Amino acid sequence: MAFEDQKLHIFFFPFLAQGHMLPTVDLARLFAARGVKATIVTTPHNLPIISRTIGQPKTTSHNIIINTLTIRFPSLQFGLPEGCENADSIPSPSLAPNFFRAIQLLQEPLEQLLLHHHPDCLIANPFFPWATDSAAKFGIPRIVFNAAGSFTLCAMEHTRLYKPYKNVLSDSEPVVIPNLPGEIKMTKMEVPGSMANENDENRAWAKLHAAMSEAELKSFGVIVNSFCELEQVYADHYKKVLGRKAWNVGPVSLSGRDMKEKANRGREASIDEQECLRWLHSKQPNSVLYISFGSMTNFPKSQLKEIAMGLEASGQYFIWVVRSQKEDEEEEEEEWLPEGFEKRMEGKGLIIRGWAPQVLILDHEAVGGFVTHCGWNSTLEGVSAGVPMVTWPTGKDQFYNQKFVTEVLGIGVAVGVEGDSVEKEAIEKAVRRIMEGEEAVEMRNRAKKFAKMAKEAVEEGDHKDKSPGNSDNNIDKVTKKFPRPDCLIADFSFPWATSS
């Protein structure tokens, strides 16, 4: 038997969106660095993103080798444009349910791959609740990889279970999330529709969330992209009260990438990384604000204009990432900038149209603040970089992450999203609060402490004097759960029962 065949083989199956694919590649790297054979399953149009994020074997630190396999995505069958295989390219929100329906058809082709490659374990995204049963069919354990933090996992599950918004009429009345440590209050407007109101559309989401929760409980366990020291109370709550077997292994974005690898994470960057670094090198430590709303948020032009005016009024240096909405209509795209903006901002502000090397930028010492939509990856990347944040959530789990950053960690200021738009005065005010004055210094000091803790959590031990960080240790723990010979689990339908 060849050496390759004796290795523990793990299949990774991320949801088709950057916010899930990128941390999954990071996670696969962590396992591969321990000698695990890692295979990521994706669809043809997502393969270039995955491959670029993995990197070339010869340029990858630790000589990590990660394999990929593809399965066909039925875009056309569900009225999606040809090649629309990633949540960031769904042309309009009304087509999102079609995308989710198409996703459910991936079960059969995934099972074909499990049959042919017989891996020892399947690590799959929570949006594939059926993956637990798929793994069970082949007698292997399924682990859920949840690209969310423990606080938000607990808060969302409590909202789903206790339905505190059921009889609340007002959208803006703060309501305590029952039985969650910390007296956390959220308004109806801040929680996902399926947890706030019952209607036909929301019922389908609610059903999916219920299935996800059930699959999580039935699975071998949950890998969480966060570190215990950041949110110990909620990491414990998730296990002890919500009954999940869980390992916090993050921040996975700190998975030992060199500069080039950081620049290659995700889509091809719309700026040369050297140009970006030169620009940052020319600025003082903590003097630059980084503004990005992740891979999916699209603002109308009027909102982009307000942001431009707010930034200018704040007087800060900035790097602002604007997602290109219509790649072939550049002229129209420029309309959102106030007249003469770019000329006035020369040397002061850098606009990146498209995709930015986010982790590379955030990790630069010149960056001193982050305006974020609070996607969990961005939030944790901000924590890892030790920068205070202006929180500007737009939906999904992002309002929960905002609560966590502003109230639990105390390292952020909410921009104050209430209606459809945020005005320039509010933007300027929030930006100044995280970049200037005593409050900013206090938040930055706190943020730096969390960043230090994050780095310690992922630190490798040396098997002698230096013990590994908690997150690093947790990856080892998961790996050791599956020594090869024990992988054939007797009970065909309940593999987790044998192993737990």
- Closest CB 296 distance from ligand UDP, rounded Å: 5
Class of residue 82 by CB neighbours under 10 A (exposed 0-12, middle 13-18, buried 19+): exposed
- Where is 280: in which H helix or E strand? helix 273-281
Considering only 46, 86, 134, 378, the residue that binds ligand UDP (CB under 6 A) is: 378
- Closest CB 188 distance from ligand UDP, rounded Å: 22
375 binds ligand UDP, rule: CB under 6 A: yes
Q: Count the site residues for ligand UDP by CB under 6 A.
A: 20
Selected range binding ligand UDP among 151-159, 230-238, 374-382, 450-458, rule: CB under 6 A: 374-382
Q: Which residue has the tokens 């444009």?
A: 81
142 binds ligand UDP, rule: CB under 6 A: no
Beta strands in 29-86 (DSSP E): 37-42, 66-70
Considering only 356, 371, 405, 427, the residue that binds ligand UDP (CB under 6 A) is: 356
Q: Which is nearer to ligand UDP, 19 or 368 (CB)?
A: 19
376 binds ligand UDP, rule: CB under 6 A: yes
> How many other C-beta atoms lie within 10 A of the C-beta of residue 328?
7
Residue 417 vs residues 336, 390, 421: alpha-carbon distances, Å: 20, 11, 7
- Closest CB 478 distance from ligand UDP, rounded Å: 22
Can you spell out the DSSP letters for 386-441? T--EEE---STTHHHHHHIIIIII--EEE----SS---HHHHHHHHHHHHSHHHHH
381 binds ligand UDP, rule: CB under 6 A: yes
- Closest CB 139 distance from ligand UDP, rounded Å: 33
Q: Which is nearer to ligand UDP, 110 or 296 (CB)?
A: 296
Q: What is the dihedral of CA 223, 378, 213, 484, to 10 degrees?
A: -20
Selected range binding ligand UDP among 324-332, 354-362, 475-483, 492-500, rule: CB under 6 A: 354-362
- Binders of ligand UDP among 210-229, rule CB under 6 A? none
Q: Which is nearer to ligand UDP, 27 or 113 (CB)?
A: 27
- Closest CB 373 distance from ligand UDP, rounded Å: 6
391 binds ligand UDP, rule: CB under 6 A: no
Alpha helices (H) along 105-243? 107-117, 131-137, 150-162, 193-196, 200-218, 232-240
Considering only 25, 110, 359, 435, the residue that binds ligand UDP (CB under 6 A) is: 359
Let me know: does 364 contact 341? Beta carbons within 8 Å. Answer: no
26 binds ligand UDP, rule: CB under 6 A: no
Can you spell out the DSSP letters for 311-343? HHHHT-EEEEEE--S-TT-HHHHHTTSPTTHHH
Selected range binding ligand UDP among 135-143, 187-195, 377-385, 471-479, rule: CB under 6 A: 377-385
- Where is 260: in which H helix or E strand? helix 259-263
Considering only 9, 10, 18, 80, the residue that binds ligand UDP (CB under 6 A) is: 18
Alpha helices (H) along 33-104? 47-54, 96-104
- Where is 370: in which H helix or E strand? strand 367-372
**For residue 320, what are the β-bridge partners?**
291, 351
- Binders of ligand UDP among 246-305, rule CB under 6 A? 265-266, 292, 294-296
- Closest CB 292 distance from ligand UDP, rounded Å: 5
Question: What is the distance between the alpha carbons of residues 210 and 200, in angstroms, rounded to a whole number?
Answer: 15
Q: Which is nearer to ligand UDP, 157 or 381 (CB)?
A: 381
Give the binding site for ligand UDP (CB under 6 A).
Answer: 17-19, 22, 265-266, 292, 294-296, 321, 355-356, 358-359, 375-378, 381
